[in-house]
Structure 1
Amino acid sequence: MPSVNQYFDNKVASIAFQTATLPATVGVMEIGEYEFSTSEFETMSVVSGALTVKLPDNDDWQTFAAGEQFTIEANQKFNVKVEVESAYLCTYGK
C-alpha cells in the first residue's frame, strides 16, 4: 500500500510505492531550497518543472529539466533549489 510523506513544513510531499523492480517515490516540491540526505543509491527523474541541484563533492549547481535525471550514492547529502513547482520520480537501489 502506498504511504504518503511530507517534509519541510509540507513543501515537499511524496508517495512511496514498489515498482516492478525497485522501491520508489513520486512527489512534488514547492518553490524553495532544500537539503536532502540519502540512505541508499537514488535515481531522481524530473517529471515536471526543473530541479537545480548541487551534488555531493561538486561546487557547481546543475539544472535538470523535465525528462532528465541524476543519481546520488548512498549516505550523501545534496541541495536542491526549486524555482517553479516541480514533480519527480525517485527510485532506490541499482
Structure 2
Amino acid sequence: MSEFNNVTIVKKANVYFGGNVSSRTIKFADGSSKTLGFMLPGEYTFNTADPELMEIIDGELDVLLPGAEWQSIKGGESFNVPANAAFTMKVKTPSDYCCSFIK
C-alpha cells in the first residue's frame, strides 16, 4: 500500500537520537496506529512495548532482533519485532520506514 486514506496525523514529530531518527504518528479510524519515519545512517537501539512490523520503504540497514543473528534488510523488505524487546539497527543509507503497532 503506497498511501493511507481517511487518517489523522499527529503534527508533532517523534525525534530520537539527536534528530537522526524522526517519525510522525498516523491514527486510523479502527484505533490502530502507525508511524512513518526517516533514519539517517548510524546505529540505534529501540525498545518495544507492543509487537511491531517494520517495513523498510527505501534504504539499507542491518537489524539485530532478540535471539537472532544480524540480518540485512533493504527497501521493500520488512521484519517483525516481538513485544517487550530491544532491537538494534545499523542504518547504512538514509532509510524511509513504516512501523505498524500490532495489538
Per the normalisation by structure 2, the TM-score is: 0.84
Q: Which runs of 5+ in 1 are unaligned?
A: none
What letter matches 2:18 in structure 1? D
Write the distance in 1 (CA, Å) between the matches of 2:86 and 2:38. Answer: 19
Residue equivalent to 1:45: 55
Larger radius of gyration: 2
Runs of 4+ residues deviating >3 angstroms: none
Aligned counterpart in structure 1 of residue 77 of structure 2, from 58, 64, 68:
68
Query: Do structure 1's residue 31 and structure 2's residue 35 form an aligned pair?
Result: no
Residue equivalent to 1:80: 89
Per the normalisation by structure 1, the TM-score is: 0.92
Q: Which runs of 5+ in 2 are unaligned?
A: 1-8
SS in 2 for 1:9: helix
Taking a change above 3 Å as real, the CA distance of residues 88 and 20 of structure 1, as seen in their structure-2 partners, is farther
What percentage of residue pairs aligned between the two structures are identical? Answer: 38
**RMSD (CA atoms):** 1.3
SS in 1 for 2:18: coil
Q: How many residues align?
A: 93
Give 1:23 shift.
0.6
Larger RCO of the pair (alpha carbons < 8 Å, separation 6+): 1
